[in-house]
Amino acid sequence: MTIRVGVEVSIALADAVKLCNADVIAAYPITPQTHIVEHLAELVANGELDAEYVPVESEHSAMSACLGSSAMGARTFTATSSQGLALMNEVLWVASGMRLPIVMAVANRALSSPLSIWGDHSDVMSVRDTGWIQIFVENGQQAVDNTICAFRIAEDNRVLLPTMVHLDGFNLTHVIEPMVMPEESAVAQFLPPLKFPLPLNPDKPVAMGDFGPPAIFTEAKWAQEVNIEASKKVILEVWDEFYKAFGRRYLPVEKYRTEGAKTLILTMGSFSETASLAIDELRSEGNDVGQISLRLWRPFPFDELRQAVKEADTLVVLDRALSVGGPAGPVASEIKSAFYNMAKKPKVVSFVGGLGGRDITVNAFKDIIQKGIDIARTGTKNEYEFYGVRE
């Protein structure tokens, strides 16, 4: 029997890691991710989770310890945020290049300076090209569900790639939400034990993370690219099986009230739910607007995105990160390039806002959508609109 319980999202996510029976957790606390790893430390200390908890001295060490444990074939989890993710950066590339199926929750938060503990997507965008599968969630239930799915995806022997689950700092990590925690037996059935094909093993020695001379580096990178592109098929399979087992469906591009919509708003993470309320109000006022959001950030869902916008004239994109000195928000840039060679494509109006914990309310979303429609009609000299700045 499944019951709905009110629980803090960080705690629920840690409980999901316990349901997945992780073998090793190597982590360093950082706001707003701390509650996740604190609760995991409690679970291990109390004997509720039979895992090795490695309290490391930095995030660089956390990810390095994860490399080792994952290479042994141990189910490995960590979590971080912002500066911690930035400190891990070089090791993230190693994890994906070595095909180690580590799962990491990222409590999305701004990068300093000025120092900010509050939410935006600057940290995510700084690790865009690290070769990890990256999934965005919009609420606590999705965070729990996709943590479970992340292990199954990452560890599938057709995939074997590290996977990040992005959840907004504070807006998700620190809220209490009614959630359905999956049954342990159902998760055990859904998630088979990890069988890493070539683990570190003294009886059958292998070397990992060797250097790749110019004669093979190109081949290694192409193998990685083919692999992550092929992972999408498995991601879809896993989400489909999750739906059959648990009744909640996830898609690479999520749609909300898109039928007949000429204007679409796209944003990612928890703000999507606020944007949905704005869509409801605009719809009830007779506007033909709808919403899409990218659940899957890597591998980028080109086909699903193009399909989702084919009836629309305008796509308004709200980025919660700024590419300083660049063309637009990072998400809008990628969407524009995905559309560039399409014969019929919507106009893309790029907004950057919601930085460093600045809220964007339902009314602000209505304002953004209306401004987007106006800009699409009249044109603009701006590469993007910087929303909400006081002049």
Partner 1 sequence: MAKSESEMTWKDLEIGCICTEPGSASQYQSGGWRSQRPTYNFERCIKCGLCSMYCPEGCIHQNKDGYFEADLYYCKGCGICAKECWTKVIKMVEEEEK
Binding segment for partner 1 (CB under 8 A), chosen from 85-93, 133-141, 208-216, 258-266, is 208-216
Which residue, among 20, 29, 119, has the nearest Cα to 79 in the 3D structure?
Answer: 29
Residue 299 or 346: the one with the smaller Cβ distance to partner 1 is 299
Binding segment for partner 1 (CB under 8 A), chosen from 49-57, 216-224, 228-236, 280-288, is 216-224
Contact between 212 and partner 1 by CB under 8 A: the answer reads yes
Among 208, 228, 245, 362, binds partner 1 (CB under 8 A): 208
Residue 152 or 295: the one with the smaller Cβ distance to partner 1 is 152
Least distance CB 54 / partner 1 (angstroms): 22
- Could you tell me the two tokens for 167? 């959840």
Furthest-apart CA pair in the chain: how many Å?
Answer: 69
Which residue, among 163, 158, 294, 334, has the nearest Cα to 230 in the 3D structure?
Answer: 158
For the chain, the residue count is 391
Contact between 202 and partner 1 by CB under 8 A: the answer reads no
Least distance CB 199 / partner 1 (angstroms): 10
Residue 281: strand, helix, or coil? helix
Contact between 45 and partner 1 by CB under 8 A: the answer reads no
Contact between 210 and partner 1 by CB under 8 A: the answer reads yes
Least distance CB 207 / partner 1 (angstroms): 4
Q: Which of residues 98-137 bind partner 1 (CB under 8 A)?
A: 98-100
Which residue, among 57, 48, 54, has the nearest Cα to 26 in the 3D structure?
Answer: 54
Which residue, among 316, 291, 336, 293, has the nearest Cα to 385 in the 3D structure?
Answer: 316
Interface map 145-184 toward partner 1 (x if CB under 8 A)? ---------------x------------------------
Contact between 197 and partner 1 by CB under 8 A: the answer reads yes
What angle do the packed helices 140-155 and 9-19 form, to 10 degrees? Answer: 30
Among 3, 57, 113, 215, binds partner 1 (CB under 8 A): 215
Cα–Cα distance measured from residue 377 to residue 375, given in angstroms and rounded to the nearest whole number? 5
Measure Cα distances from 158 to 101, 233, 296, 303, 355 in Å: 11, 10, 18, 21, 37
- Site size for partner 1 (CB under 8 A): 21
Q: Which of residues 219-258 bind partner 1 (CB under 8 A)?
A: 219-220, 222-223, 226
Q: Which of residues 287-326 bind partner 1 (CB under 8 A)?
A: none
- DSSP secondary structure of 325-382: TSSS-HHHHHHHHHHTT-SS--EEEEEE--GGG----HHHHHHHHHHHHHHHHH--S-
According to DSSP H, which parts of 53-121 are helical?
59-71, 82-97
Least distance CB 128 / partner 1 (angstroms): 21
Among 213, 286, 325, 379, binds partner 1 (CB under 8 A): 213
Q: Which of residues 62-101 bind partner 1 (CB under 8 A)?
A: 97-100
Point out which residues bind partner 1 (CB under 8 A): 97-100, 160, 197-198, 205-208, 210, 212-213, 215-216, 219-220, 222-223, 226
